[in-house]
Structure formats: C-alpha cells, structure tokens
Amino acid sequence: MTTIKTGTRSPEVYYLNELLSKLNYGVIVSDYFGAETDKAIKDFQLNNSLVVDGVVGLKTWSALLAKNANGFSINSKLLSEQDLINFSNQFNLELAVVKAVNEVESNGKGFLIDGRPKILFEGHVFWRELEKRNINPQSYVNANTQDILFESYTKKYYVGGTAEYVRLEKARNLISDKKIVDAANSSASWGLFQIMGFNAIPIGYNSIDEYVEKMNENEGEHLKAFGLFLEKNNLIGLLRSKNWASFALKYNGPAYKTNKYDEKLARAYVKYV
C-alpha cells in the first residue's frame, strides 16, 4: 500500500477513511487526509502499539487491515511508541530525534511475513569470520558455495526476503562445526536496523546465539541492539547535539552525502518536534 499522511488526496485516502469509519472513528469518508483523519489515525496507532506519527505506511496499513478483517490485534513483534519513548529516556535523547532516526535509518519492517527477522547474508564477511576462527575459507570454495563464500564484497548474490535464509542455512551447514554456525550468524545483518551479527559481543551480548535469539523476539529488541551499537560507537552525543552530518557519516559511511541522509534526518526531526 502507498504511504500517505496529512494533506494527501488520493483513492488510498478514501479507502483509509472507510477502514477508520468501520472502526467507529468519526471521519468523513472522502479522498482527503485532513485533520479528522490525522487525529483518528494517531489514536489508532497509540492504541495498537505503533509509532504515533500520523503516517500510514506498511505497519499501520497492516494493522488496519487486520483489525477490519478479524478484530485481532496486530503482530506483537512490531515497534511501538512506548519503545521509542523508553529509548529516548534511556539515552537522554529528544523523542523527536529518536523518531527521526527511526524513520530514516530503519529499513521499514524488521520481520518477514513468516515471522522471522529480516536478514542479509554477506559472503565476504563469512570469509573473514571463518579466518577469525582459524578456518581456511579457501578450502571450501567450490561451485556450490560461490553464493555464500567469497573474498571481496559484491551484491551479485543478494536474493532478499526468505531466500536469504536459504543462503544462511547453507553457510551454517558448510560443515558440522559450531564455529561454522557462529561464523555464519555473525555474517548476516539482522532486523529493523540491520546490525551485523559480528557486532553482537562487542556491543554487549554474551554470544552470537543470544543476539540471534533476541533478534527473533520483536522490533523492540532490534531497537535495543541499535542503541547498544550507537553507544559503543560513540554516536549518542552526535544525536544529542543534532549533528546530523557527523552522525550520518559514522553510521552510513561517506555515501551519506550521495543519499542525503543528513538532510533526511534534519527534515524528519522538524516534523516530530
């Protein structure tokens, strides 16, 4: 579904107002996203453990459709407004800053439709993780492993979605050895903020197993991992001072200028103040 917000006029808004009306919100069923619709959607988000921003994106659409379909509450794995409030309190950050970072740096939804966290497996990282464990990756290079084990970075073998788990499982089963499983799990980025597994122990988890277990729980755990990552890499102070360019550089790398991450963060922040 198309992402919509205040001021939008489209057929999607008409459908949104129909859904809200069926849920007994006092909105005018029209194609305009006005003040009444904005108030209703924020109330809906608040009462369904969603981030309260008035933006109707994938998560809010999913929740609305679920409510209209069968009356059940939405998937408890989704990030909530309270998660963001807790995060802002924990790190002494403005809630508007936290919401801006969540909007720009998260990749939308942290879970696949089958309930597993989103991942992206990196074959060049797997190479390095094997070396860290005194395993020679070259010994396992063959036609069957070319999509999971290579020395230099490439996007060639990305498949996305549930198919990334096929690659992860292939890596985990390279040979029967716990070190291989750990190396494989460390070579994937996990969840809403796509924090690489090899960060697990440095940012405070007892093991890669604990990290993977937490990533399977909910987006609140993804946010916690993100916070630990920011803290470990001294990024919290940059957010407190709203130094968007320096934060974007350290989090996204030099490509932040091309993608204008700093400008996106600044605009998002103004929206939530």
- CATH number of the domain encompassing residue 42: 1.10.101.10
Give the residue numbers spanning the domain of 67: 1-74
Q: Is residue 12 part of a domain?
A: yes
Q: Is residue 262 part of a domain?
A: no
Which tens digits make up the pLDDT trace of 54-68?
999 989 998 998 887
pLDDT digits (tens, 9 = 90+) for 164-201: 999 999 999 999 999 999 999 999 999 999 999 999 99
- Is 108 inside a domain boundary? no
**Over the stretch 85-132, which tens digit does the pLDDT of each residue have?**
999 999 999 999 999 999 888 877 788 867 889 999 999 999 999 999
Q: Does residue 147 sit within a domain? A: no
* Alpha carbon distances (Å) from 5 to 23, 31, 53, 104, 154: 19, 12, 9, 16, 37
Alpha-carbon gap, residue 64 to 61, rounded angstroms:
5
d(CA 94, CA 240): 7
The verdict on residue 135 lying in a domain is no
Measured distance CA(27)–CA(12) in Å, rounded: 15
The answer to whether residue 73 scores a pLDDT higher than 50 is: no
Q: 3-class SS at 196?
A: strand
Q: How confident is the model at residue 75 (pLDDT cuts 50, 70, 90)?
A: low
Q: Does a structural domain hold residue 49? A: yes
- Total domains in the fold of the chain: 1
Quick check: is 255 in a domain? Answer: no
Cβ proximity of 272 and 95 under 8 Å: yes
CA count, 13 A, side-chain hemisphere, 151:
7
Q: In what order do the strands lie in the sheet with 188-190?
A: 119-121, 188-190, 195-196
Percent of the chain that is helix, strand, coil (3-state, to 5): 55, 5, 40
pLDDT over 50 at 33, yes or no = yes
Calculate mean pLDDT across residues 230-252. Answer: 96
Cα torsion through 49, 55, 58, 59, rounded to 10: 0
Residue 65 included in any domain = yes
pLDDT for the residue numbered 69: 65
Predicted pLDDT at 211: 98
Judging by beta carbons within 10 Å of its beta carbon (0-12, 13-18, 19+), is residue 17 exposed, middle or buried?
A: buried
